[in-house]
Amino acid sequence: MSTTANREAKRSSGEVVSNDLGQARSAKQGQSAKQSRSGKQTLTPKQAEIRNREAKIIELARPMVARGGLAGLSMEAIAREMSYAKGTIYNHFSCKEEILLALAIGANNKRLELFVNAVEAMETPRDKISAIGVACQEFRIRFEDLFFIDSLVRHSTVWEKASEQRREAMAMCEQYCMSVVAGVGQEAVQCGDLVVADATPVEDIMFGLWSLTYGGMIIDGSSPGLDSVGVQDAFVAIRRNCHALMDGYRWRPLYEPVRDRKLIDQVRDRLNRCVGPELVVNLDVSELDPAKGAFSMTLDELRRRMSEVVTSDTGESQ
């Protein structure tokens, strides 16, 4: 899916991608959002009703997918729980795959929130990328169902059935996460902590770290017999291999076990305090230029925007 997603993300360069299909429908029906005194858009009552309804559908769908995958997701059961006709659910999501992709967008936003909080507490690029590794582990442990959902949508049978708009939104969310990682690598080169040969783009190094981490966690989740081949703790093995890769490129400061143990504890404590369980599926991704792969907002700006979206969503659903 990543090749398809990247290609579609590039096609969407310069466009505002809306994760909120309900808001898009309202716009087509001639219902425009009102402007607050601060210039920030506020939802019309109809738009708020649509968003709340879709949020409830996603809330009910999440445990169904966690228990039984796509086959365990039932539009009829959701309609029954909400006391709606099944057709009402289909008015919001044309198929089960659409709901799954909406959940995956929320999963990527949660991963991004972990990344941002992890990086903010660190000073050197090496510590920042190490902190992102901790955030990946926390995402896998604390949000196991979201990790599973994120994996499911990468199958072509799911991806191809979802709408183009939803696929573009998913691709842009993934670009956000990748851009945080790539930005740390670029910072390391700029400050001289990482010196790469002309033939070795720093993006290749960051892709290697991403592959080791994400690929290792996929294998850990799907191969229960790792201990039989001597892998007692997959997370420890993944982290050791990532540090070996960075040390091989002489990315300073080099790995020190005691220092790394302190960093892990520090980042984990911060993430437990700062990242809650709420799921956000409509984070605005329009500030990212996917053609450049550049993270155009500062981390402070992104953190503020995410906080506003979380506050808005929880306020509307109460």
What gap in Å lies between CA 93 and CA 135, rounded to an integer? 31
What is the radius of gyration, based on Cα positions, of the chain? 20
pLDDT at 3: 46
Q: Is the dihedral of CA 123, 129, 134, 140 positive or negative?
A: positive
Spatial distance between the Cα atoms of 148 and 52, rounded to a whole number of angstroms: 25
The reported pLDDT for the residue numbered 303 is 55
Mean pLDDT per 10-residue segment, the chain (318 residues): 44 33 37 45 81 92 95 96 95 94 93 93 95 97 95 92 90 87 94 89 94 95 88 95 97 97 97 90 50 44 52 40
Predicted local distance difference test score (pLDDT) of residue 121: 81
Answer whether 45's CB lies under 8 Å from 59's CB: no
> Checking phi first, is residue 230 left (phi over 0); if not, alpha (psi -120 to 50) or beta?
left
- pTM to 2 decimal places: 0.78
Q: How far is CA 135 from CA 17, 94, 111, 139, 273, in A?
A: 26, 33, 8, 6, 13
Under 8 Å between Cβ of 57 and 78? yes
Mapped onto helix, strand or coil, the DSSP state of residue 127 is helix
Look at residue 307 in the predicted model and tell me its pLDDT. Answer: 54
CB 87 within 8 A of CB 153: no
pLDDT of residue 50: 84
Q: Are 117 and 275 in contact (CB under 8 A)?
A: yes
pLDDT at 282: 62
Q: How far apart are CA 58 and CA 300, in angstroms?
A: 28
Whole-angstrom distance, CA of residue 243 vs CA of residue 262: 15
Q: Which pLDDT belongs to residue 66?
A: 94
